[in-house]
Amino acid sequence: MLIHHRSFIPLFKRANSVLNRAITRMEQPDLAIVVHYWGFMPRHFDNTEHRHSFFEACYVLTGDGTYIEQETEFELHPGTLFLSRPGVQHEIRSQEGLSLCYVAFELDESASSESYAAAFRTLARQGIPVLEEGAEQPPGLLWLSLLSLFQAGHSNAPYPPHVPSSIAVSLILSILSAHGPGFYQEPQGAKAPDEGNSLFHQAALFIKDNLPEPLSLERVAGHLHITTRHLTRLFRTYGHQSFVHYVQEQRVQMAKHLLLHSDREIKEIAALSGFESVHYFTRVFTSKLGVTPARFRRSQFSEGRSDSEL
């Protein structure tokens, strides 16, 4: 998102007004964050040395300056992320002025899990003060996403009310990850994601959504950008049957539903279920269920049974 300097003042006013009114507390499962204030300042010059009892995370949109933390100086440039930690003396200096986004927050430990509490305590002790290449990191991108909601012409944007709060909590957690010494770690012994199972699931969804159409092995493999040999192995491994038998079963299930819950003719049901002819439909249906489609329909209605009872 490109933000022109001339639009900073009205943009920042809208962001300040909405966020400081609407997002003062963020709650997620096992997590509660108190937001003391949001800040969007088009020109931030020097301030005196001071400290906070909470975190204050900042992002530089434009301008150059210096962040000083306990006599250590860090250069500030567009795209820099910097974090003031609780109890740490710091100050900002800039001769030309910095365009800044910032948020002051702290964890509500009484409403958060111990893992989050430990992570924020570690951030307070060991957090990285300045990240120079922040524009391409999640916090920088999320700051821009949050600001984009308040650009001119977007005041009546058709996004749900929870969108700003969702971006805001993601921003805080991304700050925790970016400035912290590694909040989330893969559990020891955790299994790597099963890519094969995911591909099989995608193939099954594609088949389900396109049953009335021709479904060849080549078409489904092409949709997933894999070879037909790979797709065949996936169905053997995760579907425990061949691709052809899987497609037939899904078509028979669809035909059963239509036979019981519609008054369509069998010829039409065969076409809607993806069978190329009534003869082929009858043959496959009978081989799977041991009864013809017509007799299946008559017997189920006469016995008062439903599809879910089979």
Query: Which CATH number do you get for residue 277?
Result: 1.10.10.60
Q: Same domain for 151 and 221? A: no
What is the distance between the alpha carbons of residues 52 and 59, in angstroms, rounded to a whole number? 18
Strands 31-44 and 90-93: unpaired
In a domain, 185, yes or no: no
- pLDDT tens for 204-237 read 999 999 999 999 999 999 999 999 999 999 999 9
Question: Cα dihedral sign for 135, 140, 146, 147?
Answer: negative
Which one of 125, 152, 179 terminates a domain? 179
In a domain, 190, yes or no: no
In a domain, 38, yes or no: yes
Question: What is the reported pLDDT for 285?
Answer: 93
- Record the tokens describing residue 253, joined without a space: 């299930």
Which one of 146, 179, 212 terminates a domain? 179
In Å, how far from its chain's centre is CA 216? 32
Question: Beta partners for 56?
Answer: 84, 104
In a domain, 232, yes or no: yes
Question: Crossing angle, helix 278-289 and helix 243-261, to 10 degrees?
Answer: 100
What is the distance between the alpha carbons of residues 94 and 66, in angstroms, rounded to a whole number? 6
- pLDDT tens for 95-128 read 999 999 999 999 999 999 999 999 999 999 999 9
In a domain, 21, yes or no: yes
Q: Same domain for 267 and 201? A: yes
Give the residue numbers spanning the domain of 214: 195-309
In a domain, 186, yes or no: no
Q: Same domain for 280 and 153? A: no
In terms of Cβ atoms closer than 10 Å to its own Cβ (0-12, 13-18, 19+), residue 91 is middle
Name every residue whose Cβ is closer than 8 Å to that of residue 155 and which is 6 or more positions away in sequence. Answer: 14
Q: Same domain for 166 and 199? A: no
CATH number, domain of 133, equals 2.60.120.10
In Å, how far from its chain's centre is CA 30? 18
Q: Same domain for 110 and 149? A: yes
In a domain, 140, yes or no: yes
HSE-up (13 A, CA, CB side) for residue 137: 19
Q: Same domain for 81 and 171? A: yes
What is the distance between the alpha carbons of residues 62 and 41, in angstroms, rounded to a whole number? 11
- The pLDDT profile of the chain, 310 residues, written as one tens digit per residue, is 444 455 577 888 888 998 999 999 999 999 999 999 999 998 899 999 999 999 999 999 999 999 999 889 999 999 999 999 999 999 999 999 999 999 999 999 999 999 999 999 999 999 999 998 888 899 999 999 999 888 765 545 557 778 999 999 999 999 999 998 765 555 555 565 678 889 999 999 999 999 999 999 999 999 999 999 999 999 999 989 999 999 999 999 999 999 999 989 999 999 999 999 999 999 999 998 999 999 998 887 655 554 444 3
Q: Same domain for 164 and 210? A: no
Tally the domains of the chain.
2
What is the distance between the alpha carbons of residues 19 and 146, in angstroms, rounded to a whole number? 10
Q: Same domain for 55 and 120? A: yes
- Return the ∠ at Cα 146 (arms to 142 and 151), rounded to 5°: 135
Q: Same domain for 241 and 275? A: yes
In a domain, 49, yes or no: yes
Q: Same domain for 97 and 170? A: yes
Q: Same domain for 37 and 169? A: yes
Which one of 179, 214, 238 terminates a domain? 179
- pLDDT tens for 46-60 read 999 999 999 999 999
Question: Cα dihedral sign for 265, 271, 273, 276?
Answer: positive
Q: Same domain for 16 and 65? A: yes
Q: Torsion angle of alpha carbons 153, 157, 162, 164, nearest 10°? A: -20
